[in-house]
Amino acid sequence: MAGELVFMMGNFRAVFPADRRYAANHTWARTESGGAVRFGLSAYAARLLQEVYFLEWSMDAGATVREKDEIGAIESAKANAALYAPMAGIIARFNDAAMADPSIINKDGYGDGWLFEMSGDASGTMDAPAYVAHLEASWAKAQALLKGQLR
């Protein structure tokens, strides 16, 4: 389909809309009409986590964060993971719908299942082709981690 890129995770197709940017922490980014940058989990992250059932934030809207600051946590059928700021800036707001029902992340990850919005400089994010290249470069290591082969 035009406007999308695909990365094969074994037999699973992870599809990435080309109209977004992507951060190294496996979130997508899209600048909204008011200038805030909206973030959600990429198809890669969603596939690794699988069924998300819990989401919490350790920051409040309005908090100033540095890139890679821990801002929350997510739990799923496969993993419990910390969530980190993909850029420096101010957390503008969180998605209340995803807080009330985190399964929306699985159902509509590139739409209503977004996570949060920030203001700040998103120039450190990658376009879709660069993100897919990033995944291709790190896929062998990711597979080894998933299989518990690295210590």
Residue whose C-alpha is closest to residue 44's, from 6, 86, 74: 6
At residue 42, the pLDDT reads 97
- Residue type for position 120: G
The pTM of this model reads: 0.90
Which residues are CB-neighbours of 45 under 8 A, at least 6 positions away?
26, 27
Residue 15, token pair as written in the block = 């599809």
pLDDT at 145: 62
With a cut of 50, which residues of the chain have pLDDT below it? 1, 149-151
Which amino acid belongs to residue 7? F
**Record: fold of 21-123:** OB fold (Dihydrolipoamide Acetyltransferase, E2P) (2.40.50)
What tens digit of pLDDT does each residue of 68-109 get? 999 999 999 888 999 999 999 999 999 999 999 999 999 999
pLDDT for position 10: 83
